[in-house]
Structure formats: C-alpha cells, structure tokens
Amino acid sequence: MSPPKPDSAAIQDLYRREGRRVFATLVRLLGSFDLAEEALQNAFVAAAERWPREGMPKNPVAWLISAGRFQAIDQLRRQRRMTPWSEAAGHIDAIPDGAPALDEREAVEDDRLRLIFTCCHPSFGDEASIALTLREVCGLSTEAIAHACLLAPTTLAQRIVRAKAKIRDAGIPYEVPDASELPERLGRVLRVLYLVFNEGYSASSGDDLLKPDLSAEAIRLARLLADLLPEPEVRGLLALLLLQESRRRARTDAAGDLVPLEEQDRSLWDRAAIVEGCALVGPALQSGRFGSYTLQAAIAAVHAGAPSTAETDWAEIAGLYGALLRLEPSPVVALNRAVAVAMAEGPEAGLALVEPLMEAGGLGRYHLAHAAKADLLRRLGRLEEAKTSYETALGLSRQAAERRFLERRLAEIDR
C-alpha cells in the first residue's frame, strides 16, 4: 500500500504542529539557532516538493530532521570550499557524524526540554528569557512578540540576537541540568512561563487587558513541561494557569472593560479547564513537594468551586494565603491575604492589615495596592479617603482597561 500523498495544506499543518519539535533537535545536532532555523525551513521546502509525488514517510518528523541536518551539512561544506578560513570550517567538524537515532520519540522530546532550559538559563534576565522562549520554543514571530511586549520589533530582535550570541560565546550548554542543579533551574523555567502567562492574562500596559495568544502559549509550554518533567510544582503551575485562564471570557465585557470577580458571569467560566486544573492540584499538594505555584492553584481552585463571591470560602483562601506568605514572604502576598481577610471578616479587618503594609513601604508604586485600599475604604463609607486612593491608583496604572475601571469607581463616588 503506497504512503499517503499530502497536499500543501497538510504539510503546513504538520509545520504548525511539529515544526518546533524538529527545530529543537536540529539545534542540538547543528549547535546553532540560526543554522537550525534555516535547516528547518529547507527541510519543509524539500517535503513540499517531494511528498506530494512520493508520499509522506512513515516517520515524517525523523525525515524532516534528517533532511534539515544533511542540507545544513551540504551548505557548510560549500561555504568551506568557497571560504576556507570561514567559521564554517570549524562548525562542520562539530556536527556529529552518522544518522542519529531519530525513531525514538522520547529522544526528540528531550530536545524540546533542553531548548526550554537553554532559553531560561540563569545568566539571562527575565525579558531576554521570555523573548527567547517565545521565539525559539514557541515559534512566534519577532513582530508578534514585540507587539505583545509593547516593544519596537527592532528592539525585540536585538534582544534575541544578543541572547543567542551569549549562548554561543559563553558556551551555555544545551542540556537539562542534573539533579543537583534542577531545583534552581526548574524554578527559573517556571517563573518565565508564569510571567509569559501573566502578560497574556492581565497585560501590564497598553490598550488590551487580555492577550490570549501569550496565555495560550504559556499553557502549551506548561503542558509540554509537565509531560516531559512531571514534577509536582510543574503540575501545580499548569493547574494555576488553567484555573486562571478558565475565567478569561468573563473578565471583560463587550467593550473590553474590566469586570471585577464579584460581577463576573460564572456561566462563562470554562468548566473543562476548571476540572482539569482541580484534578492537578490535589496530587501536587499531597506530594508534599509543592511550592508557591501549587498553593496559588489551590486558591484558584477554591474560587472555581464557589457558585458566587458571597458563597466563596474566604476563610480557607485567607489560610492558603497565610501558607503562601510563609513560603514566599512578600508585600504583594500579604496584600492578597489582607483582601481575603476583608472578605471573610469585613472591610475593617482587612484595612487594619492593609494600612501597615502601605506604611511599611514596598507597595507605594503598586497601583493594585492603592486600589485595594480604596475599595475597603469605599465599603466602609469613607468616600473622600477612598477617592484619594483611587486617584493614586489611577495615576500609577498603565493599563487602559484598569484605568477605565478606576475612573468608573471615581465617578460613582462623585455621584
């Protein structure tokens, strides 16, 4: 029986599904991001020319990796003949001889894990790791990443070029760290995925509060990481992202304005994502090897299981925030705990916790802290003080939807 003969649409679909997996292995085999990217494109060009005539090979991923690798070697050999002293002379000698064992899916999947850890190496800042991860692991275009990060494409491109040069010049290894280094390095990877998701779920600035492409990519990477490295905290992060994302459709109205939690239509919440997220939280907590992401996921699970804000177990949420505060002491976590206490015990109890936090410093430039204080003052009927805090929050906010929400609150007080 002859193999199926795919059309261009089928090959394009394969590129979308498997392109970055092929790319990750080509990076390992060729030792260069740029060579691997060119080899990937050449491999798919060859597939588009040959497969409609000859049929799709039994293992298309292995075929594409081999085709890309051999075309890269041919190209380097031609460069060496034309320019004997070029870098190609040394580079080709570093490429492993012989065909790699490409039939084992596990080996190819490990390459994607290596690529994630390389892009999130501790020597990079968060911004460089995010840009490199979105470009090399996710395959997003430079223009798309620049738009999401509110940067000029040239600025973003330079950031990526510098990061690649650092990998090459510093000899950053393309590998998953060993057991002794894994906790620290894994934490870095999880932080980058968390930051990518947060920018998609609640943009730090700009006109759009939500950037679904970014949050979707973070969830896709978290799924991949959980499959390849099923540590409890990896699953905890995936649970957190799924539970947060489940509320996305209800977080803004038709005009793109922010809808606070207590006013959200919970029928719009994604029940499938909630079920999946909640199923991940329990085992992660029971393992005893969980961290801050699993605790945040547990808090999100309590919200997800409540029919309304009034029926939410705020005491349990306050307790979970207390556990999170012990694990990860920070003013922001303390602020979130204070808000949960206010919901459980009343706004006066919450304000008694918020005011010392504001006076202690660390939250003075955090617009959500001023907004939280304003809301507690509003609920207590201290409207003039609430107005001052809302105005401070408005002055610090850079997100259009959040600014419109704060302006509505101020208008309500004026009325």
Place of tokens 């060993």: 178
- Please tell me the distance from the alpha carbon of residue 208 to that of residue 225, in angstroms, as a whole number: 28
Burial of 25 (0-12, 13-18, 19+ CB in 10 A): buried
What mean pLDDT is predicted for residues 62-80? Answer: 88
49-71 burial by CB neighbour count: b if 16+ within 10 A, else e? eebeeeebbeebbbbbbbbbbeb
Least Cα distance to 402 among 259, 188, 299 occurs for: 259
pLDDT confidence of residue 323? 96
Output the CATH code of domain 8-96. Answer: 1.10.1740
What pLDDT, in 10s, does the model give residues 159-186?
A: 999 999 999 888 888 888 877 777 778 8
267 Cβ neighbours under 8 A, 6+ residues apart = none
Least Cα distance to 229 among 116, 308, 362, 338 occurs for: 116
φ and ψ at residue 252, rounded to 5 degrees = -135, 155
- Which token pair is 353? 């916790």
% of the chain residues with pLDDT over 70: 89
Least Cα distance to 389 among 361, 404, 409 occurs for: 409
- Which token pair is 210? 């939500």
- Which token pair is 285? 């907590």
What pLDDT, in 10s, does the model give residues 272-304?
A: 999 999 999 999 999 988 899 999 999 999 999
192 Cβ neighbours under 8 A, 6+ residues apart = 119, 120, 126, 129, 130, 133
- Of residues 45 and 93, more confidence is placed in 45
Q: Could you give the C-alpha distances from 410 to 225, 381, 390, 394, in angstroms and in order? A: 44, 14, 7, 10
140-149 burial by CB neighbour count: b if 16+ within 10 A, else e? bebebbbbbb
Is the separation of the CB atoms in 341 and 372 below 8 Å?
A: no
- Give residue limits of the domains in the chain: 8-96, 106-172+180-229, 333-415
pLDDT at 52 exceeding the cut of 60: yes
- Which token pair is 164? 């690649």
What mean pLDDT is predicted for residues 188-211? Answer: 73
pLDDT confidence of residue 107? 52
Q: Could you give the C-alpha distances from 9 to 5, 15, 17, 66, 84, in angstroms and in order? A: 12, 10, 12, 22, 41
Q: What is the mean pLDDT of the chain?
A: 86
pLDDT at 217 exceeding the cut of 90: no
Predicted model pTM: 0.76
pLDDT confidence of residue 206? 53
Place of tokens 């390389």: 118
pLDDT category at 144 given cuts 50, 70, 90 is confident
pLDDT at 65 exceeding the cut of 90: yes
- Please tell me the distance from the alpha carbon of residue 127 to that of residue 196, in angstroms, as a whole number: 10
Question: Does this chain's domain 8-96 share its CATH topology with 333-415?
Answer: no
pLDDT at 37 exceeding the cut of 50: yes
What mean pLDDT is predicted for residues 152-157? Answer: 90
- Architecture of the domain whose range is 333-415: Alpha Horseshoe (1.25)
pLDDT confidence of residue 148? 66
